[in-house]
Structure 1
Amino acid sequence: MLIVAQHAVTDPAVFWPTAAQAPLPDDVRLLQVLPSIDGRHGVCLWQAESVERVREIVDAAVGHVSRNEFFPVEEQTAVGLAMHGVGAEHG
């Protein structure tokens, strides 16, 4: 399953280095990280078994310096996923 995480970052100086160093379990992949220029917003694309799995990891690592929203991706109509080897356009 593909999951998007949207981040509203309250402390970019803490959020981005902490996120970059957070260990990931083998069953979760971080596919894309798209920070805003000022570091106060970000969108990340994840692959995991569930939205809750990603929520647990993200909130544990950076929940103290961000507000995070998560949603599953509708892979059948998504564009640009082939570069990650996932999604309907890949298969």
Structure 2
Amino acid sequence: MFVIAHHFIQQPEEFWAAAQQGSASLPSHLKIHSVFPSRDMRTGTCVWEAASVNDVQSYLDEKMSSMAKNVCYEVNDTMALGLPQKTMEAAATAG
């Protein structure tokens, strides 16, 4: 499934540095497709692929909760426009 993560960032420099570093070593059950930071770097929206929303929310809460509030939700695939191709077998069979 695709999961949107909205980030409300209190520490932009630390958050984006950690995000860049963490994206290179994501757990195998998570994939990040797109990252859209705001111009001021204090908010961001990302498109993830995972078996569940909880997988993404738990990961972000563990890694980033000291720097940002992260709100995740499942994308309604039938109503969405411009979604990437699913690439994870577990996510493809879960959704």
TM range (shorter): 0.7 to 0.9
* CA–CA distance in structure 2, aligned partners of residues 25 and 13 of structure 1: 23
Residues 27-66 of structure 1 aligned to structure 2 (within 5 Å):
27-66=29-68
The runs of 4+ residues in structure 1 deviating greater than 4 Å are none
Structure 2 residues without counterparts, runs of 5 or longer = 87-95
> Would you say how many aligned residue pairs link Structure 1 and Structure 2?
84
Shift of the alpha carbon at 1:27? 1.5
Residues 1-91 of structure 1 aligned to structure 2 (within 5 Å):
1-22=1-22, 23-81=25-83, 84-86=84-86
TM-score by length of 2: 0.84
Amino acid at match of 1:33: V
* CA–CA distance in structure 1, aligned partners of residues 29 and 8 of structure 2: 25
Shift of the alpha carbon at 1:42? 0.2
1:67-87 deviations in whole A, cap 9, x for unaligned? 111100000110001xx213x
1:31-55 deviations in whole A, cap 9, x for unaligned? 1100001100000000001011001
Identity of aligned residues (%): 33
TM-score by length of 1: 0.88
